[in-house]
Structure 1
């Protein structure tokens, strides 16, 4: 009886293996962080599934790959990520991938010329050391350039073109759908770009502070007026001295708004803005509540624009 069962399992397993070869499982694109997945989803829509590596709430700066993540990356048909300065945890893994499976945004043709320097963090850190508040500075300095590349509509467009080219090599039979997806993405992006430009025009001169320098590409693209960022580590409650420094900056520079991010405890923001006339708002640099889909990247940009305007206009 046992042998019969074993033979049955073996036969079923054999059928499973044969079926896998006869009908290949759908190929998958794995994106490192959600907004990169938004761009990939626009191009891969209806062609192949897109998975996001980082779970919601995890930090792209200090994530550690789990064995299941490594398996997903090795099994992916295409891995899309920003680059080792942003996702250091992926550098070693990605180095072992064949070039056709590995798409690094900072190496896409034409992207290097669009990179913005990201050296401000270092100055802030030195300043904090000088003020003796080293206990609560942020360790997320990314090197020479600001690597929040998904915040740039121009870089997003170049990334979409590069993903399209990679998927076309992998799945030439899906050319029509991939072409249509890229065309749709480019026209939606152009339309939302013009809309956001109009939406943000009235608040261009209003000063504000953000808690970390994730938004530089978006701000430069739309001509916004950030007064600075505090490089506060969301994991650590800023000390009294640091809160006092931040409040002084807000008042002296006549800030209209101070923006937190979803991972900050509201208490930090309340403590910073208390006793000032500065409004507080929230910016979500990862589109936490947006589901990756065909139009999720343009939705992400629109949401960010609305988050800026509602606080800066005082709505």
Structure 2
């Protein structure tokens, strides 16, 4: 009888372990640091495994801190997708504890490195703002040598998708057909949308404008746009008096047709600088807030951003 009880208990324990494993597997997924990276990841993982986002809508990667539930998501993830510590400082410690085959750190990919743009070209002018506290600059240029807003580049998005596909294929070889089909569809739709958006943006290529922060360089270069500058390098830091005077002068002289704010930051400073000028006010959303994850979400993001540019610049 005792022997039967022990055997039965062992069977229960084994069943519990199996069901525990099943639960863990079911919960595992692709975890992306930010929504735009989730757009790329969810296109490749569509129908294979869920995609989750760490950064909530309305939050900024510049000052976000992980919650205990976020740390759990990272630990149990099949794959974690992020740009790198210069963009998401909040991810650095957790990502360092993950094996390399369970993460895609975009900025370090060999296919992405040659495509990286240098950081803010007019930082020197920006540093001369006399009303800024000296210690502000320690935080201000934390993006380092390169512009880390890499999801704004259709070329880098494609290389990221290829890397996510390769990692998921290693982890789930049984899903090869679906993963291959997803990557092919992503590349095809990206090629088509790229062509269409180029045509939409062509009429506004020569129109001058200011953006709130320097997060759009890849998109602007790719589509041949003509930015006159930005208010700030880091959205958490107010632009200095010298920068504001420079922008105000450009607006008064009617060199810009539009000034863009962002949904995450609606600083009064933009309104005050534009007051009394003929410049139009627009909004650009660099994080694609509200766009649902899915196989078309990245091309929807690019299309949405294009519409935001065109509606203000036209």
Alignment partner, residue 5 of structure 1:
none
Distance (whole Å) between structure 1 residues aligned to residue 282 and residue 211 of structure 2 = 10
Question: Is contact 1:209–1:250 with CA below 8 Å preserved after alignment?
Answer: no
Alignment partner, residue 59 of structure 2:
58
Shift of 1:238: 6.2
SS, match of residue 48 in structure 2: coil
CA-atom RMSD in angstroms? 2.5
Superposition map of 1:164-183 within 5 A? 164-183=165-184
Distance (whole Å) between structure 2 residues aligned to residue 236 and residue 110 of structure 1 = 33
Superposition map of 1:133-282 within 5 A? 133-134=132-133, 139=140, 141-231=142-232, 234=235, 243-252=244-253, 254-265=255-266, 267-282=268-283
Distance (whole Å) between structure 1 residues aligned to residue 187 and residue 299 of structure 2 = 10
Distance (whole Å) between structure 2 residues aligned to residue 119 and residue 203 of structure 1 = 23
Alignment partner, residue 19 of structure 1:
19
SS, match of residue 232 in structure 2: coil
Superposition map of 1:280-295 within 5 A? 280-295=281-296
Q: Which runs of 5+ in 2 are unaligned?
A: 1-10
Shift of 1:268: 3.6
Question: Is contact 1:43–1:163 with CA below 8 Å preserved after alignment?
Answer: yes
Distance (whole Å) between structure 2 residues aligned to residue 263 and residue 55 of structure 1 = 11
Shift of 1:270: 2.4
SS, match of residue 25 in structure 1: helix
Distance (whole Å) between structure 2 residues aligned to residue 241 and residue 227 of structure 1 = 15
Distance (whole Å) between structure 1 residues aligned to residue 222 and residue 232 of structure 2 = 22
Shift of 1:235: 5.1
Distance (whole Å) between structure 1 residues aligned to residue 47 and residue 154 of structure 2 = 23
Shift of 1:71: 1.5
Distance (whole Å) between structure 1 residues aligned to residue 94 and residue 37 of structure 2 = 18
Number of residues of Structure 1 aligned to a counterpart in Structure 2: 302
SS, match of residue 28 in structure 2: coil
Shift of 1:26: 4.8
Distance (whole Å) between structure 2 residues aligned to residue 197 and residue 246 of structure 1 = 28
Alignment partner, residue 132 of structure 1:
131
CA change 1:27–1:271 in 2 (3 A) is same
Distance (whole Å) between structure 2 residues aligned to residue 308 and residue 12 of structure 1 = 61
CA deviations 1:25-55 (Å, max 9, x no partner) are 2530000000000000000000000000111
TM-score, normalization by structure 1: 0.88
Shift of 1:251: 2.5
